[in-house]
Structure 1
């Protein structure tokens, strides 16, 4: 497919699913690509364990479990219930503690050495027996650390509830904050990961083209947003982190999620997809266009051109080897009239979800922290432009960082201004 950037309706239609409205997109990638990515990701976790002198890491965040072991079971539910977790040792087994009745989902995964039933202790299921369940859970985890930890009781944990942490500490297990380990591990992508991510982006672009076709007067924000879900789910994608699509006066202030608001011809439709697609990889893109694809008004055109200027400038200075602070110093200066309506950050990392690093705008120096962009990081470059009483233009592109600069991974066309 020709990936040259365009701007009109015909150019966007070229991103539609070529198999037609009644068929899902099928990944062309061989199984070996996924197998190599799995091996690489688990190695990245264990490298972080070695660097932080930890014998193991206890994972509850389902995104981290997916990254390390490629087990995606019920991710949204397990975001908020303590029913599923993994314990990965530096010099020992990778153990998944699966929700009862789901053990078969992990049997063919090459990076999983052992499958156990999880010991959940959430109030929904256990109520007054909660303390008893926590003690049973801690006994099992502490015994495994004693068996496989080689005498090292330092265990990283990405997310832990206080009762569970206190129970482990009473058993001599030493807590190490694990979010840094997982975020650092996930931040550098292998060539195989990039193949998986590029396919997820291809599905996302087909979904956005479907949204574009259906961005017509009389449709609600929810109806337009549903087109994105449809193409993603039927093509092997998984879920969405947000529902950020709004139209006309609801675009400003930003962060209003899709509603039953009926879009009118000529109003600006702005969205941010935050899509967890095929293979569990995130595509995080933003676009704005007019309902009915009418020509922009003078105000819409001016704001859109300003957002493009911000994106293009920041792409031009971004490269591997640059410090976060250097990027902030060289980044596009937001005019004062747009500052009250700016986005919350200049760019952020992305992998199996939005991730580290997060770099603020020059207007927020107190939020900056130290760090360096590394080769093979993937980041999303952001822009949100509005003024008092206007609609908001939301643009975002996803790029791979190299020593030569930022390589755009998405090619879905911008609008004509």
Structure 2
């Protein structure tokens, strides 16, 4: 993690930041390896552009921080101490970056304690690092994707007519852990009309024969990296003809996006390739979200594969490719793979079949 802190300092210097303040979350875990609990008690990494980093932490959390293998100083505070004063004492005046997800209460308190400083977002510093995955991170994403693929391969064990989405979702959640994840992040089982809501999750609706079912699932592995993959199923009988036509167009669009995505092309161009094909097939109004999101220690992070993002893709950037079609109140479909840019092109990490699976 020392190298990440050094690279963060380099980014800070280029952007004129005097310090970074990072509270529990993916940024702290990325920079230090410490997966701190987001408690009401303040834990905060103080990283000056010059000088040594310090983790300010409650005394009762010191053992947990040490167990994470931290090699930086830990400054503890007691139950009746003021941790914000401790943070302020470690800072010099200047432009200070606070992590993008720091709680508002903490930002406002720091603003009061640091009247001579300007607070800004740390995202432009940390996101630049997290967006370009190291080889070990790509290995961790490969493992996460293989694990979630194994769950999709078992869908026939649980998905059948007469069962509720909630029952199927509970089985899937158990399998996500069984197949190698540490935590279940989300389980979406959208049957029939529920599939037309991209983030439906589950309900007590009974799955009926011939209904398309969108299954979008993901978790976090012990290494701290996320999986995310969507496949589409039907049980009992054939789905409606209009669904099959839309699904054929969706398969073509997602395949074209996978073929196009590689270092040197823009994020928005990947979105445009699939969106244009779906528009030509008459489904422009049914593709209602971006094509994808970055993935790593969070399920959604940069880079975002969306119109208006002219970021040029580079080796090490990992993201989803997930176009969808949603006929409101009737059915939905989404095909999602995680992919990573390599020196040679694009490596697609999910390997399950993308065609509609009939169970």
**Per the shorter chain, which TM-score range?**
0.7 to 0.9
- Alignment partner of 1:139 is 2:85: yes
CA distance in 2: counterparts of 1:52 and 1:348, whole angstroms: 25
Aligned partners of 2:169 and 2:187 also within 8 Å: yes
Aligned partners of 2:274 and 2:323 also within 8 Å: no
Instruction: Look up the match of 1:291.
Output: 235
SS in 2 for 1:101: helix
Instruction: Look up the match of 2:54.
Output: 95
- Alignment partner of 1:310 is 2:273: no
Deviation at 1:186, TM superposition (A): 0.5
Structure 2 portions without partners, runs of 5+:
none
TM-score by length of 1: 0.75
Instruction: Look up the match of 1:175.
Output: 119
Instruction: Look up the match of 1:342.
Output: 287
Aligned partners of 1:281 and 1:351 also within 8 Å: yes
CA distance in 1: counterparts of 2:56 and 2:152, whole angstroms: 37
CA distance in 2: counterparts of 1:206 and 1:57, whole angstroms: 40
Instruction: Look up the match of 1:407.
Output: 347
Instruction: Look up the match of 2:305.
Output: 359
Instruction: Look up the match of 2:97.
Output: 156
Among candidates 208, 219, 228, match of residue 152 of structure 2: 208
Instruction: Look up the match of 1:265.
Output: 209
Equivalent residues in 2 for 1:226-245, closer than 5 Å: 226-234=170-178, 237-245=181-189
Aligned partners of 1:210 and 1:227 also within 8 Å: no
Equivalenced residues, count:
350
Aligned partners of 2:12 and 2:125 also within 8 Å: yes
Instruction: Look up the match of 2:265.
Output: 322
CA distance in 2: counterparts of 1:183 and 1:63, whole angstroms: 11
CA distance in 2: counterparts of 1:317 and 1:311, whole angstroms: 10
Aligned partners of 1:44 and 1:186 also within 8 Å: no
CA distance in 2: counterparts of 1:286 and 1:399, whole angstroms: 13
- CA spacing shift, 1:55–1:203, aligned 2, 3 Å: same
Aligned partners of 2:161 and 2:206 also within 8 Å: yes
- CA spacing shift, 1:389–1:410, aligned 2, 3 Å: same
SS in 2 for 1:335: helix
Deviation at 1:69, TM superposition (A): 1.5
Structure 1 portions without partners, runs of 5+:
1-37, 121-131, 147-151, 362-367
Aligned partners of 1:94 and 1:112 also within 8 Å: no
Instruction: Look up the match of 2:330.
Output: 390
Aligned partners of 1:244 and 1:256 also within 8 Å: yes
RMSD: 2.9
SS in 1 for 2:335: strand
CA distance in 1: counterparts of 2:56 and 2:15, whole angstroms: 24
- CA spacing shift, 1:39–1:307, aligned 2, 3 Å: farther
CA distance in 1: counterparts of 2:54 and 2:163, whole angstroms: 48
Aligned partners of 2:287 and 2:324 also within 8 Å: yes
- CA spacing shift, 1:169–1:98, aligned 2, 3 Å: closer
Out of 92-101 and 348-357, give the one that drifted further: 92-101
Aligned partners of 2:266 and 2:309 also within 8 Å: no
CA distance in 1: counterparts of 2:154 and 2:59, whole angstroms: 39
- CA spacing shift, 1:271–1:100, aligned 2, 3 Å: farther
